[in-house]
Amino acid sequence: MQKTKLGISIGFMGAILCCAGMFMGYTATLLLAGYIILMEDDVWLKATAVKVVSIMAVFSLIIATLSIIPDAIGLLNYFVALFGGSFSVLILTNLTYFLQQVVSLAETVVFLMLALKALKMDTINVPVVDGLITKHMD
């Protein structure tokens, strides 16, 4: 079983990285991914580090894009309130919050699956992210 320079198995380090992406946010994940990319020699582990950070960015982008809708509705409401009126599209706002929760749940499931696969030094296919990784890591 291959080991990292820290003395733990490569698969376990990959699982730790996936769990960091799921629970710890960008700071801890970027520090750990940066360490892996700069200090470790294993290609699979480096690709996993890039994949985890990329997946985090994709899910954050989706959630940020969805949050534009209720923010725009709120902005219109404040503008209309200047003239004594009220503006609200409650169904659209609630649908957006529902979709954000669905995306958040999907993110958790993806990272959990990645962590479990990483223990065996395997991965799941995420077509967009995998395409970018293979294109830019060669």
Residue 135 has pLDDT above 90, yes or no: no
Mean pLDDT of the chain: 90
Q: What is the pLDDT of residues 19-47, one digit of tens each?
A: 999 998 899 999 999 999 999 999 899 99
The band of 49, judged by pLDDT with boundaries at 50, 70 and 90, is very high
Distances (CA, A) of 12 to 22, 114, 121: 15, 12, 8
Q: What is the pLDDT of residues 7-25, one digit of tens each?
A: 999 999 999 999 999 998 8
Residue 21 · residue 29 · CB < 8 Å: yes
Mean pLDDT of 94-109: 94
Query: In the chain, what percentage of residues exceed pLDDT 70?
Result: 99
Considering all CA atoms of the chain, what is the largest pairwise distance in Å, rounded to the nearest integer? Answer: 70
Residue 89 has pLDDT above 90, yes or no: no
What's the pTM? 0.85
Residue 138 has pLDDT above 70, yes or no: no
Between 130 and 57, where is the model more confident?
57
Say how far apart CA 106 and CA 91 lie, in whole Å: 22
